[in-house]
Amino acid sequence: MKTKMLTAFLALMWLASPAFSQYEDHLDFTEPIHKNESAFTISLTSNGLALGGVFRKALPDYLHLGITAEFMILRDDKEFQQITYFGQLISVNDANRLFMVPINLELKKRLFANSIEDNFRPHIMAQGGVMLGMNFPKEQYINGNIEKFSNEYQVGYNAVIGFGVDIITRDNFFASIRPQYRFTYFSEEIANKTNHSAFEIKFELGGN
């Protein structure tokens, strides 16, 4: 009985020894990479397109704090295109030429960093900031007369929430896709409304 207890005690001491600890450390996968990020962004929205860029500072606990700016080209909600009898492509209800510039702070949180491969990085993201709106209405025929409308300039606010995935290459370049929703409001109407919220698909190409 004493021999068995002594054997068990020696085994426990060996498991706790530095040699075993080094072996255990060797078995662990390497620490996930967590660095600053910068990227070129493209957004496809339900009524337009946006191009921009983002820079993110790496924070503890796999967080990134970033700043992002975009230039958005939007069309009227009721605008559509059709082909005439003569084969011409025309736009209908395109009374406005609307542009928006969101400038936001961003918080991005990587998920499951220690549970899955480092080259596949799910994340959640939230943004908030100002929205600059510019609308340049087109001349329109109303009751047989040409009506001219004044240009519109508004400053509003926007907030974005989304969930996406970063795919990392060996050279620490990455490509991302992220469905997101942008809440956009102005205190006064621009392009005939104050609420310009919309669903978006965001693509990013960047590096660490």
- Average pLDDT of the chain to the nearest whole number: 81
pLDDT at 3 over 70: no
Please compute the mean of the pLDDT values over residues 96-120 and round it to a whole number.
92
**pLDDT confidence of 140, banded at 50, 70, 90?**
low
pLDDT of residue 122: 96
Q: Global pTM?
A: 0.77
pLDDT at 108 over 70: yes
Please compute the mean of the pLDDT values over residues 34-51 and round it to a whole number.
93
**pLDDT confidence of 7, banded at 50, 70, 90?**
low
pLDDT at 23 over 80: no
pLDDT of residue 27: 45
Determine the Cα–Cα distance for residues 67 and 38; give it in Å rounded to an integer.
10
List b or e across 97-130, with b for residues whose CB sees 16 or more CB atoms inside 10 angstroms.
bbebebebebebebeebeeeeeeebebebebebe
Please compute the mean of the pLDDT values over residues 90-98 and round it to a whole number.
66
Token pair in block for residue 9: 């005690």
Among the ranges 24-33, 146-155, 162-171, which has the highest mean pLDDT value? 162-171
Token pair in block for residue 97: 């030429």
The answer to whether the CB of 72 falls within 8 A of the CB of 48 is yes
For residues 143 and 161, which has the higher predicted lDDT (pLDDT)? 161
Please work out, in degrees rounded to the nearest 5, the angle formed at the alpha carbon of residue 153 by the alpha carbons of 150 and 156.
Answer: 145
pLDDT of residue 175: 95
pLDDT of residue 78: 61
